[in-house]
C-alpha cells in the first residue's frame, strides 16, 4: 500500500493550482441522457466498491515530453481538475520541453525531492527516461502510462500499469480511411510520405501503418521527423517532402500536434485543390488546432479518442489502491461499465466546433465525479 503523504506543493504545482480553476480544458461534463447514464453508473460503481472510505492527500507527478503542446496541456490541466478539485491531491507536472534529457532531470529530481506517491507518464517511450524509471522502481513508486500507447519492449516492464488508449486501433481507423481513398487511384500512383515523431503514441501508430498498407499497393516514398523541441518546423519538413516527392496521395502524420502544420504546408503547395489533385493529410487527435485544420480544408481526417479519460481512470485506480489496497493493474480500461475511450474518425462532416473537443460516447467526467463523491466523500484540501 502507498505511504500516506503530506501535502507539499512544489513550485510547478503552485503555478498549476493558480491556473487550474474554472472550465476544464478538455472533454467536459455532458448533458442529457449521456450525463444521466454516467451519473447512475458512477453511483453504482461506488456502491459496488464497498463501504465509503476516506483518502489521504497523495502526491502525483505527471511526465510530459512537451508541456506546451495541446496533448500535454490538456492532460496537465485535467490533472489539476481531477486530482485537486475532485480528490484533494497534490499534482506536480514535469515538463521535458521537448528534450528527453530535461524530462529525465525533472523526473529524477521530483523523485529525490519527494514526497512522491505515484508517477503518471503521458505516453513517454520508456527508452527515453530509463533513469527515472529505474529510480522510481528502486523507491517503489509506481509509474502509470496514460494518454498514448508505448512500444512493447523489455523496458516497458518498468511501467506498473497502463490505461492509455489503443493507438494501434486508432491507427487502423484513420489508415482505413486513407487506404479506401487511395485504392481508387492507379497502383503506380499510390505514393505517400510519413511525418514521424518520438512523441506520444507515434511509434505504435507508425508500426500499425506499415502493417495496414501491406498488399494495398501503397508505398511510403519519403519520411521526415518532427523535432519535439521545435514542433513548428513540421511545416518546413513537410514542405521539403512535397518538393522532393511529386504526385503524392497522402501525408500521414504520426504526432497529433503536427497535423495543423502539415496541413498548412500542403495547403500552400496545393491551394484550392482537393484529393486526388492534392495529397490527403491524415493524423491523430481532434484537438483544437487539428480540428481547425480540418474545418479550413487543410487536413482531411484524424482518428480521435478522449485520451484524457485515461488520466481519470489512472487516478481512480490509485484511489482504489490507497483506499482498498487493490492492485493498480487488477482492472483494465475495458472493465469499467461504460466505454470511455471510443475511437472515432473525425472529418469535416463531424469536426468539433472552434475551441471544443469531440464529445465521446460516454461521459467520464460525470462518472468519476459521482463515483468519488459517493465512495470517498468531499476532497481534502492540500497543504
Q: Residue 72 has what pLDDT? A: 94
Rounded average pLDDT over 210-219: 98
Rounded average pLDDT over 173-194: 97
Burial class (CB in 10 A: 0-12, 13-18, 19+), 263: buried
Lowest mean pLDDT among 16-30, 56-70, 358-372: 16-30
Q: Residue 185 has what pLDDT? A: 96
Q: Residue 21 has what pLDDT? A: 35
Q: Residue 381 has what pLDDT? A: 46
Q: Residue 50 has what pLDDT? A: 94
Q: Residue 23 has what pLDDT? A: 41
Q: Residue 232 has what pLDDT? A: 84
Q: Residue 25 has what pLDDT? A: 61
Q: Is the pLDDT of residue 80 over 90?
A: no
Q: Residue 65 has what pLDDT? A: 94
Q: Is the pLDDT of residue 13 over 90?
A: no
Rounded average pLDDT over 201-226: 97
Give the tens place of pLDDT for each residue, 21-67.
334 466 667 889 999 999 999 999 999 999 999 998 899 999 999 99
What are the φ/ψ torsions at residue 205 (nearest 5 degrees)? -65, -45
Start and end residues for every CATH 3.40.50.2300 domain found in the chain: 11-165+307-340+360-376, 168-304
The beta strand positions in 81-235, using DSSP E, are 90-95, 118-122, 143-146, 161-162, 191-196, 219-225
| Structural class in CATH, domain 168-304 | alpha beta
Q: Is domain 11-165+307-340+360-376 given the CATH code 3.40.50.2300 in the classification? A: yes
Q: Give the pLDDT band (50/70/90) at residue 8.
A: very low
Report percent pLDDT > 90 for the chain: 79
Q: How far apart are CA 145 and CA 250, in angstroms?
A: 31
Give the tens place of pLDDT for each residue, 317-351.
999 999 999 998 888 899 999 999 999 999 999 99
Q: Residue 26 has what pLDDT? A: 63
Judging by DSSP bridges, how do beta strands 161-162 and 143-146 pair with one another? Answer: parallel
Rounded average pLDDT over 268-293: 96
Q: Residue 304 has what pLDDT? A: 98
Report percent pLDDT > 70 for the chain: 91
Q: Residue 382 has what pLDDT? A: 44
The beta strand positions in the chain, using DSSP E, are 59-64, 90-95, 118-122, 143-146, 161-162, 191-196, 219-225, 250-253, 280-284, 301-304, 344-346
User: Residue 103: CB partners within 8 Å, gap ≥ 6?
Assistant: 63, 64, 65, 94, 95, 96, 97, 124, 128, 129, 132
Rounded average pLDDT over 187-196: 97
Q: What value does the mean pLDDT of the chain take? A: 90
Lowest mean pLDDT among 19-33, 47-61, 168-182, 258-272: 19-33
Question: At CB < 8 A and 24+ separation, what contacts does 205-212 make?
Answer: 205/167, 205/168, 205/170, 205/171, 205/254, 205/284, 206/171, 206/254, 207/151, 207/168, 208/167, 208/168, 208/171, 208/172, 208/175, 209/171, 209/175, 209/252, 212/171, 212/172, 212/175, 212/176, 212/179
Cis peptide before 204 (omega within 30 of 0): no
Amino acid at each position: 500500500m502507498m505511504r500516506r503523504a503530506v501535502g507539499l506543493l512544489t513550485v510547478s504545482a503552485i503555478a498549476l493550482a493558480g491556473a487550474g480553476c474554472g472550465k476544464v480544458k478538455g472533454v467536459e461534463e455532458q448533458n442529457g441522457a449521456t450525463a444521466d447514464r454516467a451519473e447512475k453508473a458512477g453511483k453504482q460503481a461506488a456502491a459496488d466498491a464497498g463501504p465509503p472510505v476516506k483518502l489521504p492527500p497523495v502526491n502525483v507527478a505527471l511526465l510530459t515530453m512537451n508541456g506546451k503542446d495541446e496533448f500535454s496541456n490538456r492532460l496537465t490541466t485535467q490533472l489539476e481538475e481531477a486530482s485537486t478539485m475532485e480528490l484533494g491531491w497534490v499534482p506536480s507536472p514535469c515538463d521535458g520541453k521537448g528534450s528527453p534529457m530535461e524530462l529525465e532531470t525533472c523526473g529524477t529530481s521530483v523523485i529525490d525531492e519527494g514526497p512522491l506517491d505515484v508517477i503518471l507518464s503521458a505516453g513517454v517511450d520508456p527508452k527515453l527516461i530509463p533513469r527515472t524509471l529505474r529510480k522510481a522502481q528502486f523507491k517503489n513508486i509506481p509509474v502509470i502510462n496514460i494518454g498514448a500507447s508505448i512500444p512493447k519492449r523489455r523496458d516497458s516492464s518498468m511501467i506498473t500499469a497502463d490505461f492509455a488508449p489503443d493507438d494501434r486501433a486508432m491507427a487502423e481507423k484513420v489508415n482505413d480511411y486513407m487506404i479506401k481513398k487511395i485504392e481508387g487511384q492507379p497502383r503506380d500512383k499510390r505514393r505517400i510520405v510519413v511525418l514521424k515523431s518520438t512523441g506520444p503514441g507515434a511509434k505504435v501508430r507508425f508500426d500499425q501503418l506499415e502493417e495496414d498498407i501491406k498488399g494495398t499497393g501503397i508505398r511510403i516514398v519519403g519520411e521526415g521527423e518532427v523535432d519535439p523541441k521545435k514542433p513548428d518546423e513540421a511545416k518546413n519538413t513537410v514542405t521539403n517532402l512535397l518538393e522532393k516527392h511529386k504526385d503524392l496521395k497522402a501525408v500521414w502524420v504520426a504526432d497529433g500536434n503536427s497535423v495543423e502544420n502539415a496541413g498548412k504546408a500542403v495547403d500552400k503547395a496545393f491551394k484550392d485543390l482537393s484529393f486526388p489533385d492534392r495529397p490527403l493529410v491524415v493524423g491523430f487527435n481532434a484537438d483544437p488546432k487539428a480540428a481547425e485544420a480540418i474545418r479550413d480544408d487543410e487536413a482531411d481526417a484524424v482518428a480521435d479518442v478522449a485520451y484524457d479519460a485515461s488520466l481519470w481512470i489512472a487516478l481512480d485506480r490509485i484511489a482504489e489502491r490507497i483506499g482498498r489496497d487493490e492492485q493498480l493493474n487488477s482492472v483494465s480500461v475495458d472493465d469499467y461499465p461504460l466505454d470511455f475511450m471510443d475511437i472515432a474518425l473525425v472529418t469535416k462532416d463531424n469536426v468539433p466546433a472552434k475551441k471544443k473537443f469531440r464529445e465521446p460516447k460516454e461521459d467520464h467526467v460525470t462518472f468519476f465525479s459521482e463515483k468519488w463523491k459517493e465512495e470517498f466523500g468531499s476532497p481534502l484540501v492540500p497543504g
